[in-house]
Amino acid sequence: MNFTKFPRRGYLQGQTPIEPMKNLSKALGGKVNLFIKRDDLLPGASGGNKTRKLDFCIADAIEKGADTIITCGAIQSNHCRLTASWAAKEGLECHLVLEERVKGSYKEDGSGNNFLFELLGVKTKRVVEGGSNMMAEMEKTAAELKAAGKKPYIVPGGASNPIGALGYAACAEEMMDQLNTMGLSIDHVVVPSGSAGTHAGMVVGMVGTNAGIPVHGIDVSKPAADQEPGVYKLAQDTAELLGIKGGIERDAVKCYGEYVGPGYSLPSDDMVEAVKLFAAEEAILLDPVYTGKVAAGLIGLVRKGAFPEGANVLFLHTGGSPALYAYLDTFRA
């Protein structure tokens, strides 16, 4: 794959580690060997997957002459935290539109990412009702800023457009490079599937590197039947942007909806178990909204025997731990 045709800011500073999770593998019965790719350790305040996507999206904004970034997310959005973080580093203004997906959950003095938005110098935060048309809301903010003489650039929710998804196609290539150097053969990769850029990008990267490793997307908000078409469309568009011949086959996109629990961002028992297991066995912090549910999916699939005995399974850790502090009651209950 050729990424040199796309502007990039160089936020990554090298490869994120791939580590074995021997204790967790043993705690789950020792039937499969678990590994983790530590994208939670990416640069940008408190790390996480959006740094890879913003490496391309902010470069596009700067190339287009923007001086202001507008983006959106849920009230504990890691994407908004990292967009604010990179905007601060670049000397760009950052404006957020926050969606209150769970009625009554926004608190002006909230903890976790919500607190970090302010610390990272976000200029304005506007909270809108769950189910609002977020692109239309961001366009409203853009019109106001343009009228005030600014040059705004909209990064879509989760930076999940083909430009942002390039970040995860590049991650797949980085991962294959590491695995080849380590001489480690991975049989399955487990990734989050939310706004879909991470999942779609990884699928594209697996095809683009001819890796032949199946990618399992664990949904964090929707049932599989609702999630898969969006992931597939984004994967096709990203493959086209990259000029990958032959495109993406439909069955390369596989989602699991059964680990969403009661709904997006709402705690589930298996999420709490997964967060506690990762912390106790591997000293790795997950988050309650995304990676805790994805890890619940990983654990659930291992327990169900979805991976053959002896398989090497890699979990992509996409960050998010600041949100843990907004859920203390869940973990202390």
Ligand X SMILES: Cc1ncc(COP(=O)(O)O)c(C=O)c1O
- Catalytic residue numbers, as ranges: 77
CB of 147 to ligand X, least distance (A): 30
CB of 318 to ligand X, least distance (A): 3
User: Please, which residue, 25 or 161, has the CB nearer to ligand X?
Assistant: 161
CB of 27 to ligand X, least distance (A): 23
CB of 30 to ligand X, least distance (A): 27
CB of 157 to ligand X, least distance (A): 8
What one-letter code names the amino acid at 32?
V
User: Please, which residue, 33 or 168, has the CB nearer to ligand X?
Assistant: 168
User: Please, which residue, 79 or 101, has the CB nearer to ligand X?
Assistant: 79
- The answer to whether residues 188 and 219 touch, using CB atoms and an 8 Å cutoff, is no
Q: In sequence order, what are the residues at sequence separation of 6 or more whose Cβ sits closer than 8 angstroms to the Cβ of residue 11?
A: 42, 43, 44, 51, 52, 54, 55, 86
Q: Which residue's C-beta sits nearest to ligand X?
A: 320
Report which of 27, 127, 17 is spatially closest to residue 76, judged by C-alpha positions: 127
* 332 burial via Cβ count (<10 Å: 0-12, 13-18, 19+): exposed
CB of 78 to ligand X, least distance (A): 3
User: Please, which residue, 19 or 144, has the CB nearer to ligand X?
Assistant: 19
User: Please, which residue, 8 or 22, has the CB nearer to ligand X?
Assistant: 8
User: Please, which residue, 25 or 291, has the CB nearer to ligand X?
Assistant: 291
SS (H, E, C) the chain: CCCCCCCCCCCCCCCCCEEECHHHHHHCCCCCEEEEEEHHHCCCCCCCCHHHHHHHHHHHHHHCCCCEEEEEEECCCHHHHHHHHHHHHHCCEEEEEEEECCCCCCCCCCCHHHHHHHHCCCCEEEEEECCCCHHHHHHHHHHHHHHCCCCEEECCHHHCCHHHHHHHHHHHHHHHHHHHHHCCCCCEEEEEECCCHHHHHHHHHHHHCCCCCCEEEEECCCCHHHHHHHHHHHHHHHHHHHCCCCCCCHHHCEEECCCCCCCCCCCCHHHHHHHHHHHHHHCCCCCCCCHHHHHHHHHHHHHHCCCCCCCEEEEEECCCHHHHHHCHHHHHC
* Whole-number Å distance between alpha carbons of 249 and 236: 9
Structure tokens at 196: 């879909």
CB of 223 to ligand X, least distance (A): 15
Binding residues vs ligand X (CB under 6 A): 48-49, 78-79, 158, 160, 192-199, 287, 290-291, 318-320
User: Please, which residue, 141 or 198, has the CB nearer to ligand X?
Assistant: 198
